Structure 1
Amino acid sequence: MATADFDRSEPLPLMGFIAVEVKIHRPAGDPFNEKTWPFPLLREIAPGSTESQIVTSDKYDSDFIDRFVETGKKLADRGCVGLLTSCGFLCNAQPELSARLPIPIATSSLLQLPSVLSLLPVNKSVGVITYNGDNLGQKHLESLGIIHYAPRIQIRGPPADGPLRKLMVGLGPYIHAQVEAELVEVAVGLLKDYPDIGAFVLECTQMPPFAEAIQKAVGNIPVYDVYTMATWFYSGLVRRRPKRWGNIDT
């Protein structure tokens, strides 16, 4: 979906973005960057939402959830038609946030897993590349209601001392080529160990800028991420007749 397809005589509605408190370089492709999206983005930071808390917690406390709900309601009040978040691990909060917010929310690229698995033969698995392979696991699949798919989901992340993890905790600079090489290595290694992988899903919201390189390295296997998830999400939230369809037949 591209906004150029639409008749822009009316402005497109806003997508809301609940950001976590992480101060890093966010290039185009990162969902925090407005240039990433074919729709207008409105951002609000959820106070007290640190990387370590989101990634390492199996269950978020009520204060944490309340802050995300409050932030989401602010975005809804400002006219947003849907909400995104800035960490794939927040799928743990999907059931509660979707129940308490007045507009739809998509917390994680991992929401695509059931659809991606259904597109593949039953003897194929999905490789999930995550920010932290030690902490992403059964609890997240349970929150998504897909624990029964666990045997078909292979999860792996980059090393703790690698450029992506260092970047996220403020111990290293953003060097695109280094992060790309690291993630390509993870993908190639995962496919080597699990040759039945028929698609990849990138959990981390910092990974879309590297999706093309990953896909080329794994032989053009499908690769999905927060960008593919959110553009699909928005395409249902806002239906506009594409210009290329021409005039309505009468």
Structure 2
Amino acid sequence: MPTTAHDTEASPQKLTSGNDATRPVLGIVELDSTYPKARGNMANPASFDFPVKYATARIRPGWWLEGQGPDQSIREAFMTAALELERQGAAAITTTCGLFAVFQEHAARELNVPVFTSPLMLIPMVAGMIGPDRKVGVVTAAGNRIFEHGFLQQSGVSQSTALAVAAVDSCPEFLDVIRTQRKPDLDSQAFEDQLVGEVADMIRSNPDVGALVLECSDIPPYAHRLAKETGLPVFDFTAMASLVYRACLPPTFTH
């Protein structure tokens, strides 16, 4: 497999079980990580009822924290994996990190299949659904740094869109297992409780939040509880993937 000067080759791909060669395949660029991924995570193929194919980009969790944003080598690593998925026949391409939104415009130009890097791209739609007097609550691994590096701009989010932010990186379990990978196993209940607490704090400070958009692909396993506890509609990565896959292969209906 081709490499670059920055060692950006994609790893071998893995397919979902029961892959049917007659059905389109959704390609997923994943981070280079070892922590466990729960069902509902974009990096767990059991999250989907359709075929998916992965390519691992040589990019570690927390890649966006250093310097002034992603450098050329990071973009090359991402594109190498995405182009490999396209070469292998993916009908559309997505990711396991919503902060890969910084590559959206470049990837859309370079790829010949639809690409959606982040559920942040749902924010304009959600904002239109809830109206101008309510905020979109963004639950993100970036915290308030979501306003940096073009994460929102490349997702098509207008500067006038009213947002509130809940910081997943304030959750100790997220930091220890997912961001730094200091712990090998995730205490899912602890993480869920911490996450719900962060979102509750955001809503207390912003009672005009009308819907939630979950940026990070580690959060969808807890979307059900977030919806129940907040009473708000919740939009996440796996739901977005299902929407795009249905566009690639719309269902048939009997008459």
Work out whether the TM-score is over 0.5: yes
| Distance 1:175-1:107 versus aligned 2 partners, 3 A rule | same
Cα offset for 1:55?
4.6
Instruction: Tell me the distance in 2 between the aligned counterparts of 1:146 and 1:159.
Output: 22
Instruction: Tell me the distance in 1 between the aligned counterparts of 2:213 and 2:227.
Output: 11
Which residue of structure 1 lines up, in the alignment, with residue 254 of structure 2?
246
Instruction: Tell me the distance in 1 between the aligned counterparts of 2:182 and 2:78.
Output: 27
| Distance 1:57-1:127 versus aligned 2 partners, 3 A rule | farther
TM-score (norm 2): 0.85
Cα offset for 1:10?
7.3
Q: 2:97 aligns with which of 87, 95, 100?
A: 87
Gap regions ≥5 residues in structure 1: 1-7
Q: Does 1:197 align with 2:209?
A: yes
Q: Does 1:45 align with 2:56?
A: yes
Q: 1:230 aligns with which of 237, 241, 249?
A: 241
Q: Does 1:132 align with 2:132?
A: no
Instruction: Tell me the distance in 2 between the aligned counterparts of 1:62 and 1:106.
Output: 20
Code of the aligned partner of 2:34: K
Counterpart secondary structure, 2:23: coil
Q: Does 1:171 align with 2:179?
A: no
Q: Does 1:181 align with 2:193?
A: yes
Instruction: Tell me the distance in 1 between the aligned counterparts of 2:202 and 2:141.
Output: 14
Deviations 1:163-221 (A, max 9, x none): 11211111233011001001110111111110100000111100000001111111x21
Q: Does 1:116 align with 2:126?
A: yes
Gap regions ≥5 residues in structure 2: 1-18
Code of the aligned partner of 1:44: A
Counterpart secondary structure, 1:51: coil
Deviations 1:34-74 (A, max 9, x none): 11012101111012x11222355654222322222221121
Instruction: Tell me the distance in 2 between the aligned counterparts of 1:52 and 1:159.
Output: 10
| Distance 1:102-1:10 versus aligned 2 partners, 3 A rule | closer
Contact 1:160 1:166 in 2 (8 A): no
| Distance 1:55-1:87 versus aligned 2 partners, 3 A rule | farther
Contact 1:56 1:135 in 2 (8 A): no
Cα offset for 1:80?
0.8
RMSD: 2.0
Code of the aligned partner of 1:166: D
